[in-house]
Structure 1
Amino acid sequence: MKIALTGAGGFLGWHVRVLLHALGWPEPVVLGRAELADPVLLASRISGVDRVLHLAGVNRGGDEDVAAGNVELAGALARGLRRCPVPPTAVVFANSTQVGNGTAYGDAKAVAAATLADACLGADFVDARLPNLYGEHGRPFYNSVVATFCRQLADGGEPGVHGDRELELVHALDAAARLVGAPPGGAWDASMPTKRTGVRELAAWLATAAATYRAGEIPPLRDRHDVRLFNTYRSHCFPAHYPIPLVRHADARGDLVEVIKVHGPGGQAFHSTTRPGVTRGEHYHLAKVERFAVMRGRAEIALRRIGGDEVVSFTVSGDEPVVVDMPAMWAHNITNTGRDELLTLFWSNEIFDPRYPDTYPEPVREPGLELMAAA
């Protein structure tokens, strides 16, 4: 399926692009400022695509700026749609459940939806009303209260709770699945399963999870939202909080190192041996939590965020045991850089299911990528 989208550089846009990559669909046609400013150019870029996703919007600022920004962006896309030689099959608008609620933002979203619906010219119009989205790498004090709380906790502070209200949360990857029309299965759910919680309850859960994780332990991850909230918190910790040191207990009998303590469902642990110069991994996960711990030998663990071009690397050794937890949606590998056999212990939060492996091949290093050593 060929998709074009506005707002590709934003929070939801990144999750859409990651999901398309995991699905193996073509790279999306990115509609930036240049295209939106030129109706003829825009029409040529979207001609014949299957879906146009309109994600670009303004949700912060003064009322006039918010209203004008959302209406103008929809108007720009509408002008291109009306000039399109081969109309897209569908136009999908990333709307909000706040539409028409009497605020400048909600009213502007309503006008934007009507503008796009009027310009579809035979294409299906999908008005996707999204609730509060959260997920990895959201901007604190901008994208969601989850991102704000996670950033505050990662910086060593406490969530700043000012009042309480009910929230309806959806992970951005599930919203992306709805927008692109993803098939069922995998680490996404196009039905957009929601989590209903209060602001104070959310802050308390994240604070408890962060305190547990600061001790090197894994908090209870009892459902998909627990896993994804934890992954969101970890995204704000990476790479500054890694590697996590382990305590070695030694006596005349030998050494003992506690690698993983899990509060809740235990997941799966396994180990591997790797010959000198050999690399394992070269893949990424959309949701799975995975821990690496080198028990013997010397290695480099390297990671790259999907869609990014910087490689973060950690030099690790069994002589000074540490763990590195793989952030969701980052390609990662481990290479034996020593002269002897490498022994690595791995843990993941779920038992491997070959029907839903949540593992997608992806090289960490590609020609031209910049190396950023983290340790």
Structure 2
Amino acid sequence: MLRLAVTGAGGFLGWHVRVLLRTLGWPEPVVVTRHDLTDPTAVAAKVTGVDRVLHLAGINRGDPTEVASGNLRIARQLVAGMRAADAPPKAIGYANSVQAGNGTPYGDAKAEVSAILAEAGLPVDDVLLPNLYGEGGRAHYNSVVATFCRVLADGGRPDVHGDRELSLVHATDAAARLVGTATDGSWDATMPALDIGVRELATRLAEMAASYRTGEIPPLTDRHTVRLFNTYRAHCFPAHYPLVLPRRADARGVLVETVKVHGGAGQTFCSTTRPGATRGEHYHLAKVERFVVLRGSAEISLRRVGGTEVVRFQVGGTEPALVDMPTMWVHKLVNTGSDELVTLFWTNELFDPVRPDTWPEPVEASIPRPVAAVG
């Protein structure tokens, strides 16, 4: 268990780092803000005594010259603060890029930042990151995956101007590599990459979106496909839910198709819940989970990990509707009626008690004011 300080904690990768630390049960990281970086004394106070500083902050968009100079300035400010610390950190983790040293202003600056960080006189774990994707990414900024997902969630189609090969790594895997934790079922510190062309990526995501428009689950055949689907679902939340399910009634009664899966594994189970009782109070990093109330009335409430706003859905058995839990959102279900509640649950994988991907946390918790995440 390490004590970390993080620059760029409010960004896309920074949010995944903070969620992973919460999942591991490690201390909340010390957040070094852009404002802190303007004052070496403020930086020194924050990094004193920490085990590792993760340098995630950077400038990715804008005038190439300004992007380059801004990244160099941030690195020099961080080094000045670390040098002034009474008890300097033991090491530095640097979120570098595979573009480092490629002859562009951005790439050459990323390489130079590595040299600047080494001037602190501490071991530097220089992690060359490819294109990152995942939940919380901002369209037209963090990745082409986020852009395509946003367009599809809004009912459009991705516009592919040219095709090229991409190497994609999920942001939680990158976070695990930077944090230095061992690989687990929900994250992989070896950062396995998905090598895919832009056009094929657009097609794959469009097929997912077409299936999911009516609540059908597309084929989830491998690890990256599940994470791409979770990324797409993140852009559907909360506007896409609850999704009312078709009902077929005849003299015998009513039939509702709650889950239609196009291939892949899964597990379905039902529960009864007494009036006023609660189920859930946890989050998942990768698991797809669906709630459908079949009898009674309930409130489903969700909160993004590290956030404070709670999203609530009122659902009932008179008009069955699905609500799929977005990954990295704490969620619970409460029976709000006077009768027993009957709920159907579905997950995309069989429950594994050794690696359950179920991390306890209350939805309506008293938590410190979070750093706002981008996206």
Q: Which TM-score tier does this pair reach, normalised by the shorter chain?
A: over 0.9
Cα RMSD (Å) of the superposition? 1.2
1:76 maps to 77
Question: C-alpha distance in 1, partners of 2:3/2:352?
Answer: 30
Question: C-alpha distance in 2, partners of 1:90/1:271?
Answer: 49
Question: C-alpha distance in 2, partners of 1:161/1:218?
Answer: 25
- Map of 1:220-235 to 2, 5 A cutoff? 220-235=219-234
2:315 maps to 316
Q: What is the number of equivalent residue pairs in this alignment?
A: 368
1:97 maps to 98
- Map of 1:351-362 to 2, 5 A cutoff? 351-362=350-361
Question: C-alpha distance in 2, partners of 1:67/1:137?
Answer: 25
2:334 maps to 335
Question: C-alpha distance in 1, partners of 2:311/2:367?
Answer: 14
234-243 or 38-47, which moves further after superposition? Answer: 38-47
Question: C-alpha distance in 2, partners of 1:20/1:368?
Answer: 15
1:184 Cα deviation after fit = 2.5
SS of residue matched to 2:230: helix
Question: C-alpha distance in 2, partners of 1:200/1:51?
Answer: 39
1:124 Cα deviation after fit = 1.5
Q: Percent identity?
A: 66
1:114 maps to 115
1:373 maps to none
Question: C-alpha distance in 2, partners of 1:184/1:287?
Answer: 14
SS of residue matched to 2:332: strand
**Partner AA of 1:264 in structure 2:** G
2:139 maps to 140
CA offset digits 1:233-288 (Å, max 9, x no partner): 01000000101110111111111100000011131000000000001000000010
SS of residue matched to 2:208: helix
1:322 Cα deviation after fit = 0.2
1:35 maps to 36
1:52 maps to 53
SS of residue matched to 1:4: strand
**Partner AA of 1:278 in structure 2:** A
Does structure 1 conserve the Cα–Cα contact (< 8 Å) formed by 2:183 and 2:190?
no
- Map of 1:196-211 to 2, 5 A cutoff? 196-211=195-210
1:47 Cα deviation after fit = 1.2
1:149 maps to 148
Question: C-alpha distance in 1, partners of 2:366/2:179?
Answer: 30
CA offset digits 1:213-234 (Å, max 9, x no partner): 0021000111110010000001
1:10 Cα deviation after fit = 0.3
- 1:252 correspondence with 2:265: no
Question: C-alpha distance in 1, partners of 2:349/2:160?
Answer: 32
1:372 maps to none
- 1:19 correspondence with 2:13: no
TM-score of the aligned structures, taking structure 1 as reference length: 0.96
**Partner AA of 1:91 in structure 2:** I
Question: C-alpha distance in 2, partners of 1:286/1:367?
Answer: 22
**Partner AA of 2:57 in structure 1:** A
2:264 maps to 265
SS of residue matched to 1:174: helix
Between 1 and 2, higher relative CO (CA 8 Å, sep ≥ 6) is seen in: 2
Question: C-alpha distance in 2, partners of 1:264/1:62?
Answer: 46
**Partner AA of 2:102 in structure 1:** N
**Partner AA of 1:13 in structure 2:** G
2:371 maps to none
2:293 maps to 294
Does structure 1 conserve the Cα–Cα contact (< 8 Å) formed by 2:148 and 2:158?
yes
Structure 2 residue runs without a partner (length 5+): 369-375
SS of residue matched to 1:128: strand
Does structure 1 conserve the Cα–Cα contact (< 8 Å) formed by 2:176 and 2:189?
yes
1:313 Cα deviation after fit = 0.4
2:88 maps to 87
1:34 Cα deviation after fit = 2.7
SS of residue matched to 1:276: coil
- Map of 1:236-247 to 2, 5 A cutoff? 236-247=235-246
Question: C-alpha distance in 2, partners of 1:44/1:368?
Answer: 23
SS of residue matched to 2:88: coil
SS of residue matched to 2:72: helix
180-189 or 100-109, which moves further after superposition? Answer: 180-189
- 1:190 correspondence with 2:169: no
**Partner AA of 2:190 in structure 1:** S
1:367 Cα deviation after fit = 4.7
SS of residue matched to 1:334: strand
Question: C-alpha distance in 2, partners of 1:246/1:192?
Answer: 38
1:27 Cα deviation after fit = 0.4
